[in-house]
């Protein structure tokens, strides 16, 4: 990030396009954002003292998909100002309850967004956690890479986002499969992963159970699928040997190179260290960052047990 300016810059989003990761930065006061490919990205920054955290803005959903909306207010929650948080909370509630409340109750733009084919998937993470979820459109795996799934199976497609959520909820109610996985579990899974074969076996078993259940439920508003997906990073050796990044990312001064990403988690290197570090980038959102000529904080590595 080159910032010839007195203003701090902010990480405003971690985005995926065609299953590749990008970091979106914004310099305070500037209209435009800068999208940088995350792979091989060298970052050197420190968290600027005495400046407000800044809201990352919101996402608008319409017939054409999602677009981000910038905001210049200070952040009060982990990511947003009060106004944007409220807007997102209402949008999220509408999206999750759309099928219960009906099209008329949720606003035209959101209804148009949902009136589009959706797929239902079941995903497994490296610690063995599983979830069901839905994604808009009938191609691409961005939703899965964005969440950091390791393997997944698309099990059904539905005519729209209303019906697909009915299916999702009934799977959660009847089969007890959750709709979210905590990032701490995803993180732990990369440090001590189950074997890939074991994960595939568990997923196959679960997908079969779901498909059996869906045979009765899908009816005329959708159809069953059996499409396999795996994270493109499975063959990437860096994910086989990671240690937790030994510093707090939203404090102090840092320098590292991102080698690869799974969801919002980055595998990175630092000059002078042979380890590959695993780092959650999300806590960096909203914090004012600056470049310049300053010392990088030392790592305090735990002594090896051997
Ligand atoms: Zn805001």
Question: How many whole angstroms from 103 Cα to the centroid of ligand 1?
Answer: 27
Q: Are 141 and 211 in a shared domain? A: yes
Mean pLDDT of 90-115: 78
**pLDDT for 262 beyond 60:** yes
Going by pLDDT thresholds of 50, 70 and 90, the confidence category of residue 279 is very high
CA distance 73 to 113: 27
pTM value is 0.91
The highest-confidence range among 96-110, 153-167, 292-306, by mean pLDDT, is: 153-167
Between 41 and 3, name the one with better pLDDT: 41
Question: How many whole angstroms from 69 Cα to the centroid of ligand 1?
Answer: 9
Q: Are 211 and 150 in a shared domain? A: yes
Contacts of 121 (CB under 8 A, 6+ apart): 132, 133, 134, 135, 143, 144, 152, 153, 154, 155, 229
Instruction: Supply the DSSP string of the chain, one letter for each residue.
Output: ----SSS-EEEEEEEEETTEEEEEEEETT-S--EEEE-TTEEEEEEEPTT---B---EEEEETTEEEEE---SBP-SSS--HHHHHHHHHHHHHHHHHHHH-GGGS-HHHHHHHSS-EEEEEEE-TTS-EEEEEEESSS--HHHHHHT-SEEEEEEEESSHHHHHHHHHHHHHHH---S---HHHHHHHHHSPPPHHHHHHHHHHHHHHHHHHHHHH-GGGEEEEEEEEE-GGGG-GGGGS-EE-SS-TTSSEEEEEEEEEETTEEEEE-TT--SPEEEE-GGGTT--EE-SS-PPPPP-PPPP--
CA distance 282 to 280: 6
Question: How many whole angstroms from 87 Cα to the centroid of ligand 1?
Answer: 9
Question: How many whole angstroms from 35 Cα to the centroid of ligand 1?
Answer: 20
The last residue of a domain, from among 182, 215, 233? 233
Going by pLDDT thresholds of 50, 70 and 90, the confidence category of residue 220 is confident
Q: Are 154 and 221 in a shared domain? A: yes
Q: Are 204 and 131 in a shared domain? A: yes
Going by pLDDT thresholds of 50, 70 and 90, the confidence category of residue 141 is confident
Q: Are 102 and 137 in a shared domain? A: no
pLDDT score for 306: 47
184, 193, 210: which is closest to 265 by C-alpha? 184
Question: How many whole angstroms from 54 Cα to the centroid of ligand 1?
Answer: 8
Q: Are 62 and 72 in a shared domain? A: yes
Q: 9-66 pLDDT, tens per residue?
A: 999 999 999 899 999 999 988 888 899 999 999 999 999 988 999 999 998 887 777 7
Note the Cα 118 to chain centre separation in Å: 19
The last residue of a domain, from among 72, 95, 115? 115
- C-beta of residue 279 within 8 angstroms of C-beta of residue 268: yes
Domain count, the chain: 3
Going by pLDDT thresholds of 50, 70 and 90, the confidence category of residue 104 is confident
**pLDDT for 303 beyond 80:** no
Going by pLDDT thresholds of 50, 70 and 90, the confidence category of residue 91 is confident
Q: Are 139 and 225 in a shared domain? A: yes
Question: How many whole angstroms from 51 Cα to the centroid of ligand 1?
Answer: 16
Q: Are 44 and 138 in a shared domain? A: no
The tokens for 221 are 């508003």
Domain assignment of residue 220, given as a range: 117-233
Q: Are 124 and 224 in a shared domain? A: yes
Question: How many whole angstroms from 29 Cα to the centroid of ligand 1?
Answer: 14
pLDDT score for 59: 86
How confident is the prediction for the chain on average, in pLDDT? 91
CA distance 255 to 249: 10
CA distance 249 to 264: 13
Q: Are 249 and 287 in a shared domain? A: yes
Q: Are 84 and 150 in a shared domain? A: no
Q: Are 179 and 123 in a shared domain? A: yes
End-to-end alpha carbon distance in the chain: 39
Question: How many whole angstroms from 285 Cα to the centroid of ligand 1?
Answer: 13
Going by pLDDT thresholds of 50, 70 and 90, the confidence category of residue 1 is low
The last residue of a domain, from among 94, 115, 136? 115
Q: 148-201 pLDDT, tens per residue?
A: 999 999 999 999 888 999 999 999 999 999 999 999 999 999 999 999 999 999
């Amino acid at each position: 990030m080159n910032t010839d300016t007195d203003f701090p810059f902010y990480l405003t989003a971690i985005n995926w396009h065609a299953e590749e990761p990008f970091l979106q930065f914004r310099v305070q006061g500037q209209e435009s954002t800068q999208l940088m490919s995350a792979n091989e990205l060298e970052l050197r920054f420190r968290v600027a003292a005495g400046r407000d955290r800044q809201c990352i803005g919101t996402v608008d959903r319409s017939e054409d998909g999602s677009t981000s909306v910038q905001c210049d207010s200070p952040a009060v929650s982990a990511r947003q100002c009060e106004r944007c948080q409220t807007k997102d909370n209402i949008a999220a509630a509408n999206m999750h309850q759309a099928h219960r409340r009906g099209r008329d109750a949720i606003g035209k733009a959101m209804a148009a967004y949902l009136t589009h084919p959706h797929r239902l998937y079941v995903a497994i993470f490296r610690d063995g956690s599983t979830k069901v979820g839905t994604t808009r459109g009938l191609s691409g795996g961005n939703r899965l890479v964005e969440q950091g799934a390791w393997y997944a199976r698309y099990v059904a497609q539905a005519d729209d986002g209303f019906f697909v959520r009915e299916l999702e909820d009934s799977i959660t109610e009847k089969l007890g499969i959750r709709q979210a996985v905590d990032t701490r579990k995803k993180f732990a899974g990369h440090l001590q992963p189950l074997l890939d074969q074991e994960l595939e076996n568990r997923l196959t078993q679960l997908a079969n159970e779901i498909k059996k259940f869906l045979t009765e439920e899908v009816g005329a508003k959708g159809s069953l699928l059996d499409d396999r997906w795996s994270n493109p990073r499975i063959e990437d050796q860096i994910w086989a040997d990671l240690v937790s990044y030994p510093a707090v990312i939203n404090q102090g001064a840092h320098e590292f190179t991102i080698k690869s990403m799974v969801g919002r988690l980055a595998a990175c290197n630092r000059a002078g260290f042979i380890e590959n570090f695993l780092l959650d980038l999300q806590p960096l959102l909203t914090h004012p960052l600056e470049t310049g000529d300053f010392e990088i904080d030392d790592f305090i590595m735990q002594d090896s047990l051997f």
